[in-house]
Amino acid sequence: MESRPLVVVGAGVSGSAAATEAAKAGVHVTLIDENPVPAAIAGLNVPQFFGQRFSGDLRDRALMLERVAAASEAVTEAKAAGVDVQLGTCVWGAFRNSDSSRMLDGPQLGLANDERSWMIKYDRLILATGARDLGIAFSGWNLAGAVGANGAFCLMNRYEASASRRMVVMGAGNLGLSTARMALDRGIEVAAIVDVSNSVRGDVALRTALQREGVKLYMSHTVREAVGRFGDIESVVLVEIDNNSEPVAGTEKVIAADTVCLAIGLVPNVELLSLLGCDLRFESGLGGYVPDRDDWMRTSVETVFVAGDVAGFHEGMVLDSEIARNQGRLAGLAAAESLGAIGKDEALARRADLQAEAVDSASNEVNSNWASWLQSLVTAGGPDIFVCPCEEVTCAELNDLHPPRRLKWKAERQSRRNLRTLAKDSPADSDQVKRLTRVGMGYCQGRLCREQVSMMLAAETGRDVADVPIMSYRPPVRPLPLKVLWPREEAEQVRRDWPKWFSPPRQVLG
Amino acid sequence: MSVVSADVVIIGAGVSGLTAAYFLARAGRDVVVVDKGIVGGEASGRNGGMISERTDEPAMIPMAVEAIKLWATLDEELGYPTEFTQQGRLQVAVTEKDMDDLFSERDAALRHGLRADMVDPSQIRDMIPGITDRILGGLFFANGGHANSQLTVQAFAWAFQDLGGRLFQNTVVTGIQVDGSRVTSVETSAGAIAADMVVGAAGPQTALMTQLVGVHVPVAPARVEILATAPVPPLFDIALVGNGLYGRQAASGNLLFGGGTHEWADVHLATDPDKPNTPLIRNIARRLAELLPCQADTPVIRSWAGVVEQVPDMMPIIDILECPSNYVVVTASAHGFGIAPATGKAVSDLVLYGETNIDIGAFGLHRFSDIGPDWRAELGWNPIPPRF
Ligand SMILES: Cc1cc2nc3c(=O)[nH]c(=O)nc-3n(C[C@H](O)[C@H](O)[C@H](O)COP(=O)(O)OP(=O)(O)OC[C@H]3O[C@@H](n4cnc5c(N)ncnc54)[C@H](O)[C@@H]3O)c2cc1C
Ligand SMILES: Cc1cc2nc3c(=O)[nH]c(=O)nc-3n(C[C@H](O)[C@H](O)[C@H](O)COP(=O)(O)OP(=O)(O)OC[C@H]3O[C@@H](n4cnc5c(N)ncnc54)[C@H](O)[C@@H]3O)c2cc1C
């Protein structure tokens, strides 16, 4: 098996900076990014919420590879520094020995492109996997045209394959405002920016410029529904909300649009960190579960470093990519130092020009805003909106812990059970709820519903969302066709030694 | 915790503990179930859900047959769905060696009065559309089936509570108080619970639990893996075994298949064992795509692992300790899901009457009287040393 001294996962601002910094320090660096993702995977809303709003270009793999490579100066710089850049390659698994798993002769990553998968070893790993779109259910978000900010960014900027023409943006923080800005710059109309809060949270200059260009802002509003007759969004109904997030009847506004962009928040992509057993903690101001890390971006696992959005995202970072870049450079230096490529003194010296304040930026908690959104959307859209669009689990079914609908289960006893009664037995646990309702078990691997489920559990059971344990992550962290995941080369010995369910007792008892 | 006592305290809310709890509560006993995690958080909510007549271990057949009878009416009885379906179990052969095994298994089944029919490749293709052309033949057990393990454990837990049973999740058993020859109470992270009778249903922690009362029971933990594909349209409702895998298509459409090497592990009394997957899932994926070539493009979306409890002769242990004489040990030996209703019934009978309807003669502890403390090393069942 191939072994690399340093693997960086994620070729965004932070990962590219990390790779470049480490390469400059003399380390042989491999930089891996999943983009462009195969069209079939993008269609499943993986890794971002693409909402089917992409053009046929996405099917042209060569073209996409070209565009993704060209879209990023940081990647070009990394290449120039000698970094081995592998695009169109996802890391679907990270394996390392633990108490009950001791077979590996070193930590390994599972990699795959659109055709095959393979394993590699590494000495040091920098995870710069970014963040994903926060999903919050609204009526009609399962129609084509409901997208997320990062998904839209990727389609517009990296792939140049956005099929949106007229967009309503949900969220008036920097994330929402920047998405609107980018859309306008790409010739996409922005019909409205909506937010449940009564004032614009995002940057004033950005907002003023958008308003000057005629973009309407609807504060204290929510989305009642997105409507479309043929599976595609055609219009969006907004409604004003009162101080209790309740919709005010008679204030509905119908807005023609083919795209609704959820730009309410981003959630750090910690799935590989979770597989590796890195310590995670809940930090509302940073988007949810984030890795514990020191000021050299080292995680609790000696060989693993983090940088950028995955280490914690706040909306200040949307306007200031220096934060992610600096974190990347730090991680690159730290990894180089731990590999012995440079000494501690040199690492410190190189670190000197990285602004300290850019590394540790203060942030405000976001969950109260997310919770108001959720509450307003559920109240406006009704209990039958899908929390989990993949498995079609509605809000009401989640609250009632309803057995999967296809079982057509009706029994008096079952109807006495719900999230609240479950919480009487033990603290709410997303994994338990997932098992009972199938929420989070679908194609998108829970990307679109994890946070909502935690928020709904917290709300229903009167707990702080920070106390709801993380819904577990398992490999492969990207959906991979059997024929991609399987090893093409399989040692003859594997087949020979492949047991039946344990070996027959005659044999083991000797 | 306001509770200070119960007729029976059951350690472990896995399927063995919960089924026993249910039948005891149904018989009017005041029962407390304690688990360090959530209901079925370990093997009982992580298994393949296969239900069979256990022809591999003939001594288990009566118990497995009894279990299947109980499964048939569980949903109705419990009031919660288990997703049990009984369309049979099909073992297919892809090699000549497999074929030989099927014939001898068929003979064994017939000897024990079970229904088992050899089926040819064309019959198999009707039963499992899209199965590989490499199929040589199969053995069909009409009585086999499968169920959803996660719904099943919760169904038993809720039905138990509906009968007045008390369930304490996230509560760790840390000690057991013995006075003379009897357990007096179970110590937990939430306080002591006085008990007239204790059932140790701690799965892979079984041996650690009995050690607390000075008794040696041979149970070795092992980690095993399984994977799930995205949902696909209904293909088959039969429990399928072949090409080194076992599995089923769940009602949700997902294909759930497991198999391959297990890894011996150590567990700790008070903490959850870690349960990582390994690159083995690639080899499982390969075997699944070989078995069902029509599904080669179907994505795998999840995998997981569980820690099973393995007994030297691969059969359950259901017995009352000699001393302390009010402690019942129950552990299933890595195929405890399918037989669970019968296990629970047997444990309940043992607690209530000191004897059982179902023949558990082969599951007594006496069969290990010769086994010394180094048995795991002798069998090669110790984990390999850590190398990080
Ligand atoms: C509205 C909006 C505007 C933006 N504008 C800009 C901009 O002008 N310039 C800019 O550079 N960025 C922009 N971004 C991106 C954003 O600012 C990033 O969040 C930020 O740059 C942080 O970068 P990062 O390197 O931490 O993460 P990202 O840039 O998100 O990079 C992470 C990368 O890792 C990949 N990845 C994650 N997991 C895996 C895996 N398992 N296997 C393989 N690859 C994986 C992701 O697909 C992604 O490509 C914008 C985003 C939004 C939403
Ligand atoms: C991947 C996989 C596939 C399988 N497939 C099948 C199959 O298809 N068919 C089949 O019949 N069987 C199958 N099995 C085996 C089956 O799941 C187990 O035999 C069965 O679940 C054992 O149940 P149990 O209740 O005895 O143990 P467990 O489920 O392990 O439950 C024991 C419980 O005790 C608790 N506990 C332990 N220590 C303490 C303590 N100190 N304090 C409090 N609580 C404690 C644990 O938290 C746990 O919940 C499979 C297992 C796995 C992992």
Cα angle A359, A361, A365; round to 5: 140
pLDDT tens, residue by residue, A447-475: 999 999 999 999 988 999 999 999 999 99
Confidence of residue B374 (pLDDT cuts 50, 70, 90): very high
User: Are residues A246 and A143 part of one domain?
Assistant: yes
Final residue in a domain of this structure, among A298, A323, A351: A351
pLDDT tens, residue by residue, A199-232: 999 999 999 999 999 999 999 999 999 999 999 9
For residues A40 and A48, what is the distance between their CA atoms, to the nearest angstrom? 13
Confidence of residue B387 (pLDDT cuts 50, 70, 90): confident
Total number of domains constituting chain A:
2
Mean pLDDT on B364-388: 90
CA-nearest residue to B163 within chain A is A413
User: Are residues A124 and A170 part of one domain?
Assistant: no
Residue A151 domain flag: yes
Confidence of residue A504 (pLDDT cuts 50, 70, 90): very low
Taking residue A288's Cβ as centre, other Cβ atoms within 10 Å add up to: 28
Collect all residues of chain A within an 8 Å Cβ-Cβ radius of residue B222.
502
Residue A90 Cα to ligand 1 midpoint, Å, equals: 14
Structural element, H or E, at residue A423: helix A419-425
Pocket of ligand 2 (CB under 6 A): B 11-17, 34-37, 41-44, 46-50, 172-173, 201-205, 224, 226, 258, 269-270, 306, 308, 331-332, 334-338
From residue A299, give the alpha-carbon distance in Å to each of A169, A275, A341: 35, 13, 20
Name the least confident of A244-258, A492-506, B36-50, B133-147: A492-506
For residues A258 and A92, what is the distance between their CA atoms, to the nearest angstrom? 33
> What is the pLDDT of chain B when averaged over all its residues?
96
Cα angle A362, A366, A372; round to 5: 155
Is residue B133 within 8 Å of B290, Cβ to Cβ? no
Is residue A293 within 8 Å of A310, Cβ to Cβ? no
CATH classification at residue A281? 3.50.50.60
Taking residue A205's Cβ as centre, other Cβ atoms within 10 Å add up to: 10
For residues B69 and B49, what is the distance between their CA atoms, to the nearest angstrom? 16
Name the least confident of A489-498, B72-81, B349-358: A489-498
For residues B53 and B66, what is the distance between their CA atoms, to the nearest angstrom? 9
Strand partners, B92: B138
Joined together, the tokens standing for residue A267 give 């959630």
pLDDT at B3: 55
Cα angle A63, A64, A69; round to 5: 105
Final residue in a domain of this structure, among A203, A235, A264: A264
For residues B336 and B333, what is the distance between their CA atoms, to the nearest angstrom? 6
Joined together, the tokens standing for residue A182 give 């980018």
> Is A315 a pocket residue for ligand 1 (Cβ < 6 Å)?
no
Strand residues in chain B grouped as ranges (E)? 5-11, 31-34, 50-51, 89-93, 117-119, 137-141, 145-146, 166-168, 173-179, 182-188, 191-200, 220-231, 239-242, 245-249, 254-259, 263-264, 299-310, 317-320, 327-331
User: Are residues A225 and A140 part of one domain?
Assistant: yes
ipTM score for this prediction: 0.95
Exposure of A64 in the CB half-sphere (CA atoms within 13 A): 25
Ligand with smallest separation from the Cα of B333:
2
Ligand with smallest separation from the Cα of A308:
1
- Whether pLDDT at A295 is above 80: yes
Residue length, chain B?
388
pLDDT tens, residue by residue, A348-375: 999 887 765 554 555 688 999 999 999 9
User: Are residues A64 and A146 part of one domain?
Assistant: no
Exposure of B238 in the CB half-sphere (CA atoms within 13 A): 23
Beta-strand relationship, B245-249 and B239-242: antiparallel
- Whether pLDDT at A509 is above 70: no
pLDDT at A180: 98
- Whether pLDDT at A505 is above 60: no
Taking residue A498's Cβ as centre, other Cβ atoms within 10 Å add up to: 17
Collect all residues of chain A within an 8 Å Cβ-Cβ radius of residue B254.
441
Residue A509 domain flag: no
Is residue A42 within 8 Å of A50, Cβ to Cβ? yes
pLDDT at B375: 94
pLDDT at B388: 60
Mean pLDDT on A240-266: 96
For residues B290 and B274, what is the distance between their CA atoms, to the nearest angstrom? 30
Residue A12 Cα to ligand 1 midpoint, Å, equals: 5
Interchain proximity A101–B276, CB inside 8 Å? yes
Q: Is B273's Cβ below 8 Å from some Cβ in A?
A: yes
Joined together, the tokens standing for residue A165 give 């023409």
Interchain proximity B80–A414, CB inside 8 Å? yes
From residue A115, give the alpha-carbon distance in Å to each of A68, A118, B23, B39, B297: 19, 10, 52, 40, 11
Name the B residues in 31-50 with CB < 8 Å from any A CB. Answer: 38-40, 45
Is residue B128 within 8 Å of B257, Cβ to Cβ? no
The residues near B104 (Cβ < 8 Å, ≥ 6 apart) are none
Final residue in a domain of this structure, among A304, A328, A351: A351
Helix (H, G, I), strand (E, B) or coil at B49: coil
pLDDT at A412: 86
Pick from A403, A479, A501: CB nearest B300: A479
Ligand with smallest separation from the Cα of A268:
1
Alpha carbon A92 to its chain's center: 14
Residue A197, Cβ density class (10 Å: 0-12 exposed, 13-18 middle, ≥19 buried)? middle
User: Are residues A250 and A307 part of one domain?
Assistant: no
Interchain proximity B289–A482, CB inside 8 Å? yes
User: Are residues A240 and A330 part of one domain?
Assistant: no
Residue A229 domain flag: yes
Joined together, the tokens standing for residue A286 give 């940073």
What is the position in ligand 1's atom list of the atom closest to the CA of A158?
Answer: 49
User: Are residues A108 and A65 part of one domain?
Assistant: yes
pLDDT at A312: 96
Helix (H, G, I), strand (E, B) or coil at A491: coil
Helix (H, G, I), strand (E, B) or coil at A373: helix
Name the B residues in 100-119 with CB < 8 Å from any A CB. Answer: none
Beta-strand relationship, A29-32 and A2-9: parallel
pLDDT tens, residue by residue, B31-43: 999 999 999 999 9
Strand residues in A350-459 grouped as ranges (E)? 386-388, 393-394
What percentage of residues in chain A have a pLDDT greater than 90? 87
Mean pLDDT on B300-320: 96
Strand residues in A349-500 grouped as ranges (E)? 386-388, 393-394, 480-481
pLDDT at B230: 97
> What is the pLDDT of chain A when averaged over all its residues?
94
Q: Establish whether the linkage from the previous residue to A36 is cis, with ω within 30° of 0.
A: yes
Is residue A306 within 8 Å of A331, Cβ to Cβ? yes
What percentage of residues in chain A have a pLDDT greater than 70? 97
Is residue B195 within 8 Å of B324, Cβ to Cβ? no
Q: Is the dihedral of CA A337, A342, A345, A347 positive or negative?
A: negative
pLDDT at A363: 67
User: Are residues A55 and A170 part of one domain?
Assistant: no
User: Are residues A218 and A147 part of one domain?
Assistant: yes
| Total H helices, total E strands in chain A | 21, 22
DSSP A265-306: -EEE--HHHHHTT--EEEEGGGTEEEE---TT-B-SSTTEEE
For A132, phi and psi rounded to 5 degrees?
-120, 165
Name the least confident of B16-30, B47-61, B70-84: B47-61
What percentage of residues in chain B have a pLDDT greater than 90? 96
Residue A54 domain flag: yes
pLDDT at A323: 92
Whose alpha carbon is nearest atom 44 of ligand 2?
B35
Confidence of residue A506 (pLDDT cuts 50, 70, 90): very low
Mean pLDDT on A310-329: 94
- Whether pLDDT at B313 is above 50: yes
Q: How far apart are the first and last CA of chain B?
A: 41
Is residue A18 within 8 Å of A335, Cβ to Cβ? yes
Residue A467 domain flag: no
Cα angle A353, A175, A11; round to 5: 55
Instruction: Kindly list the strands in the beta sheet with A146-148, ordered across the sheet, starting from the edge strand earlier in the chain.
Output: A146-148, A259-262, A166-170, A189-195, A217-219
Residue A336, Cβ density class (10 Å: 0-12 exposed, 13-18 middle, ≥19 buried)? buried
For A247, phi and psi rounded to 5 degrees?
-65, 145
User: Are residues A271 and A125 part of one domain?
Assistant: yes
Is residue B264 within 8 Å of A508, Cβ to Cβ? no
pLDDT tens, residue by residue, A116-130: 999 999 999 999 999
Interchain proximity A426–B38, CB inside 8 Å? yes
User: Are residues A165 and A46 part of one domain?
Assistant: no
pLDDT tens, residue by residue, B199-257: 999 999 999 999 999 999 999 999 999 999 999 999 999 999 999 999 999 999 999 99
Interchain proximity B278–A409, CB inside 8 Å? no
Residue A436 domain flag: no
Range of the domain at A311: 2-132+267-351
For residues A150 and A49, what is the distance between their CA atoms, to the nearest angstrom? 7
Give CA torsion, residues B234, B236, B238, B239, to 10 deg: -80
- Whether pLDDT at A503 is above 70: no
User: Are residues A294 and A274 part of one domain?
Assistant: yes
Structural element, H or E, at residue A131: strand A131-133
For residues B155 and A385, what is the distance between their CA atoms, to the nearest angstrom? 27
Collect all residues of chain B within an 8 Å Cβ-Cβ radius of residue A413.
79-80, 158-159, 162
Residue A204, Cβ density class (10 Å: 0-12 exposed, 13-18 middle, ≥19 buried)? exposed
pLDDT tens, residue by residue, A72-130: 999 999 999 999 999 999 999 999 999 899 989 999 999 999 999 999 999 999 999 99
Joined together, the tokens standing for residue B87 give 């369309």
pLDDT at A356: 53
From residue A120, give the alpha-carbon distance in Å to each of A5, A95, A106, A217, A298: 11, 10, 10, 49, 21
> Is A93 a pocket residue for ligand 1 (Cβ < 6 Å)?
no
A454: distance to nearest CA of chain B, Å? 17
Mean pLDDT on A163-187: 98
Q: Is B223's Cβ below 8 Å from some Cβ in A?
A: yes
Joined together, the tokens standing for residue A420 give 């609240």
pLDDT at A355: 65
pLDDT tens, residue by residue, B134-149: 999 999 999 999 999 9
Joined together, the tokens standing for residue A48 give 């971002």
Q: If we measure between CA atoms, which residue out of A165, A170, A174 comes closest to residue A141?
A: A170
Whose alpha carbon is nearest atom 25 of ligand 2?
B14
Collect all residues of chain B within an 8 Å Cβ-Cβ radius of residue A490.
283, 286
Residue A357 domain flag: no
Residue A253 domain flag: yes
Domains of chain B: 4-62+149-218+313-370 (3.50.50.60), 90-141+221-310 (3.30.9.10)
